[in-house]
Amino acid sequence: MSFPRRLVLDTNTVMALWLFRDPRLAALDAAIAAARFQPCCRPDAVEELRRVLAYTHFGIDADEQQRLIAGYSERVTLVDGLGDAADALPLPLCRDRDDQKFLEISRAAQAEFLLTRDKALLRLARHRLVRERFSILTPERFVSDGWCQ
């Protein structure tokens, strides 16, 4: 097995890891820091994170927002477009169109895992066009299943 293994983190997972520092995800944070996993994303996912961090109900000042974006950008590998032409099989459509990008990023990056708490994405985990390519699971399940060890 080659390292680092590729994974995709949706915006909620990124926030749980590096804004809220969810202790249940400490092993995932450590595994990423140790380069056992390589998070992958696209520029539109970074922009979504930037937008979400600016929501007033989080109360995050501009300097902290910039620090979080910079830290995230240092940790991820950006992937281009919608995926390689060799991987032309379609993806299922997510009920939430804003989350479709995470399926596309997973395909383009040839990621093994998409970590999310989003119910619409989690419902697609059993879809044949997904399960043949990558696993979709919650970050808590990823940790409890021992992937970070």
Residue 1 has a pLDDT of: 57
Residue 128 has a pLDDT of: 87
Mean pLDDT, residues 18-26 taken together: 97
Q: Which range among 4-8, 14-18, 131-135 shows the weakest confidence by mean pLDDT?
A: 131-135
What is the CB neighbour count within 10 angstroms for residue 76? 21
Burial 16-50 (b: 16+ CB within 10 A, else e): bbbbeebeebebbbebbeeeebbbbbbeebbebbe
Residue 132 has a pLDDT of: 85
Q: What are the C-alpha distances in Å from 100 to residues 4, 44, 108, 123?
A: 24, 11, 12, 13
Whether the pLDDT of residue 73 is over 90: the answer is yes
| Confidence bin at 105 (pLDDT 50/70/90) | very high
Whether the pLDDT of residue 17 is over 60: the answer is yes
| Confidence bin at 139 (pLDDT 50/70/90) | very high
Whether the pLDDT of residue 77 is over 80: the answer is yes
Residue 87 has a pLDDT of: 53
| Confidence bin at 99 (pLDDT 50/70/90) | confident
CATH of the domain at 21: 3.40.50.1010
- Give the predicted TM-score (pTM) of the model: 0.92
> How many structural domains comprise the chain?
1
Residue 78 has a pLDDT of: 96
Whether the pLDDT of residue 82 is over 60: the answer is no
Residue 50 structural domain: 5-145
